[in-house]
């Protein structure tokens, strides 16, 4: 009895996974043109931002294979769209805020979020990297 339930549950999950691939959201990844790169004063801070922030906060996102597979494609598309709206290092000419919120989130450990660095190990920031990034963010106009 339990084996039959497990078998049908597995079949149901496989069918559900196949069906959600038909949802059209999350696979039309775009990297719009860069209008103005953030004017980093510190090359080390820029390099840290590129490895830990640019996938969601720039027009230079690296769309990896899993970003084309639902439901991960949905989450990736949503995160990148949201990240670009808040802070986009590739459209610095359109940025009206300050880097203050980004600084606070880096210092508190909220950015990059745990679910991002769980897949992108190089995005985990050491204390020294956080300090360098924060200093670089403070120098941005």
Q: What's the CA gap between 37 and 97, in Å, rounded?
A: 15
The reported pLDDT for the residue numbered 138 is: 96
pTM for this structure? Answer: 0.85
The reported pLDDT for the residue numbered 93 is: 95
The reported pLDDT for the residue numbered 18 is: 87
Q: What's the CA gap between 33 and 140, in Å, rounded?
A: 21
Residues 6 or more apart in contact with residue 120 via CB below 8 angstroms = 52, 55, 112
Residues facing residue 91 across a β-bridge: 36
CB distance 54 to 63 below 8 Å: no
Q: What average pLDDT values come out for the chain (141 residues) when binned by 10 residues?
A: 85 87 83 96 97 96 92 93 95 89 94 89 94 96 88
Q: Does residue 91 sit in helix, strand or coil?
A: strand
């Amino acid at each position: 009895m339990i084996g039959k339930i497990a078998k049908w549950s597995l079949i149901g999950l496989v069918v559900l996974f196949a069906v959600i691939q038909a949802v059209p959201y999350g696979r039309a990844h775009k990297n719009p043109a860069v209008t103005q790169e953030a004017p980093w004063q510190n090359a080390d801070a820029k390099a840290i931002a590129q490895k830990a922030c640019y996938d969601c906060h720039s027009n230079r996102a690296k769309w990896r294979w899993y970003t084309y597979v639902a439901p991960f494609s949905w989450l990736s598309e949503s995160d990148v769209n949201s990240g670009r709206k808040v802070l986009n290092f590739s459209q610095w000419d359109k940025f009206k805020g300050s880097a203050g919120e980004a600084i606070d989130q880096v210092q508190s450990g909220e950015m990059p979020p745990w679910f991002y660095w769980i897949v992108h190990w190089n995005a985990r920031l050491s204390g020294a990297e956080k300090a360098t990034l924060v200093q670089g963010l403070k120098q941005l106009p």
